[in-house]
Amino acid sequence: MTNQPTVETEVGRLQRSGRDVSTIPAVLSQWLSTVMPGGVTPDVTVESGIDSNGMSSETIILTGRWDEDDRPVEEKWVARVAPTAQDVPVFPTYRLDYQYDVIRLVSELTDVPVPRVRWIDTTGEVLGSPFFLMDHVSGSVPPDVMPYTFGGNWFADAPAERQRELQDATVEVLAKLHSIPNAGETFGFLTEIDPPGPTPLHRHFGWLKQWYQFAVADIGRSPLVEQALQWLEDNFPTDVAATEPVLAWGDSRIGNVLYEDFRPVAVLDWEMATVGPRELDVAWIIFAHMVFQELAGLAGMPGLPEVMREEDVRATYEELTGARLGDLKWFYVYSGVIWCCVFMRTGARRVHFGEIDRPEDIESMFYHAGLLKRLIEEKP
């Protein structure tokens, strides 16, 4: 998910969430001896000081070392650990096993690059919370902190043609994911927690409204979110909602992709994956950039106005898929509300852990509030 601009190490987060980091290597080594083939018991090292874009689950980088036929073997893995209720999680329910299954299915059904998923503990008994291991992939992510639109990073400082190459290759990822046939059946498990409704979008919208209420319980109401939810209700895109649903990656942003030479080498962060209209992902990828543009503007910087323009993304996507996208505005507002709910939760967490005082107005933490207001106030 998306991050508030705070800098903290994953090890710091582990300590904060009450887990003793020093026991992780021995515990994981023992557990790996039960799941790895060949009776191997690897030595496990936790790499510290991970520079992560993440905020809603824990990501730990590990190295495993063992001998095979008297030769040393070394593998680098990433553990993704589900948050516990004490961590003040972003989402009310969290299915780490579903993320594992989606990544595995995407690797089987497409040539979209995803990390190879390895072993999963669904019981929570090993680390105190479910987790899985995947292969570590080398690459670079456009940074969230500070936002890549602020400049001074590999993506912002690259020539425009290379930025466009990265954009097109990432839109191609969406096109490929959305071309998986029978997504509603294959990935139906992802929508199991959504309340009933006539279409996947109605159901997802129902889930969003429940999520907002969950967030309100800890941090209070937001009139802006409630106004936006009403707007979404009043302008519900019945036609788009009725189209054949696709696998939506969910948190489709360039900040969730590892790139090598401007090409995706690993598509990460599947915790918001769902089934629904293709517009969900297409709008999200554009909106995420709009938010970063907004931030650059607030900081008095030009940002990257040529990147992720709707007309370009739409043209690339439609050419690759042969599909026609509907109007994206409803989906921008929808994305904006999701960002608000994330900030309500990450705000509640920072209050809970004493990092900030409880804000008088939760909307002061929505740094995209201006953008969202403009969207719902502008004439169609």
Ligand X SMILES: Nc1ncnc2c1ncn2[C@@H]1O[C@H](COP(=O)(O)OP(=O)(O)OP(=O)(O)O)[C@@H](O)[C@H]1O
Catalytic residues: 251
Applying CB under 6 A, does 1 fall inside the site for ligand X?
yes
376 contacts which partner out of ligand X, Mg ion, none, CB within 5 to 8 A by kind? none
Applying CB under 6 A, does 115 fall inside the site for ligand X?
yes
Query: Side chain identity at 360, as an amino acid letter?
Result: E
The 8-class DSSP code of residue 140 comes to B
Q: 80 or 176: whose CB is closer to Mg ion? A: 80
Q: What is the DSSP string of 8-21?
A: --HHHHHHHTT--G
Applying CB under 6 A, does 129 fall inside the site for ligand X?
no
Dist. CA 332–CA 338, nearest whole Å: 10
Do 88 and 346 form a contact (C-beta atoms < 8 A)?
no
Applying CB under 6 A, does 171 fall inside the site for ligand X?
no
Applying CB under 6 A, does 149 fall inside the site for ligand X?
no
141 contacts which partner out of Mg ion, ligand X, none, CB within 5 to 8 A by kind? ligand X
55 contacts which partner out of Mg ion, ligand X, none, CB within 5 to 8 A by kind? ligand X
SS3 149: helix
Dist. CA 268–CA 107, nearest whole Å: 12
Question: Residues 52, 129, 149, 191: which binds ligand X (CB under 6 A)?
Answer: 52
Applying CB under 6 A, does 113 fall inside the site for ligand X?
no
Dist. CA 80–CA 133, nearest whole Å: 6
Q: Interface with Mg ion by CB under 5 A: which range of 111-119, 181-189, 250-258, 281-289?
A: 250-258
Q: 242 or 258: whose CB is closer to ligand X? A: 258
336 contacts which partner out of ligand X, Mg ion, none, CB within 5 to 8 A by kind? none
131 beta partners: 81, 121
Residue 364, CA atoms < 13 Å, CB-side half-sphere: 8
Applying CB under 5 A, does 269 fall inside the site for Mg ion?
yes
Applying CB under 6 A, does 293 fall inside the site for ligand X?
no
Applying CB under 6 A, does 168 fall inside the site for ligand X?
no
Applying CB under 6 A, does 55 fall inside the site for ligand X?
yes
Cβ neighbors of 299 (< 8 A, separation 6 or more) are 150
**Least distance in Å: CB of 231 to ligand X?**
27
In residues, how long is the chain? 380
Do 277 and 243 form a contact (C-beta atoms < 8 A)?
yes
Q: Interface with ligand X by CB under 6 A: which range of 163-171, 262-270, 328-336, 372-380?
A: 262-270
CB neighbour class for 81 (10 Å; exposed up to 12, middle 13-18, buried from 19): buried
Q: In the numeric block, which tokens belong to residue 165?
A: 């190459």
b/e per residue, 181-193, with b = 16+ CB within 10 A? eebeeebeebbee
Applying CB under 6 A, does 54 fall inside the site for ligand X?
yes
Q: In the numeric block, which tokens belong to residue 170?
A: 């990432």
Q: 53 or 129: whose CB is closer to Mg ion? A: 53
**Least distance in Å: CB of 144 to ligand X?**
8
120 contacts which partner out of Mg ion, ligand X, none, CB within 5 to 8 A by kind? none
Write out the residues near ligand X by the rule CB under 6 A.
1, 52-57, 59, 78, 115, 134, 136-137, 141, 256, 258, 266, 268-269, 271
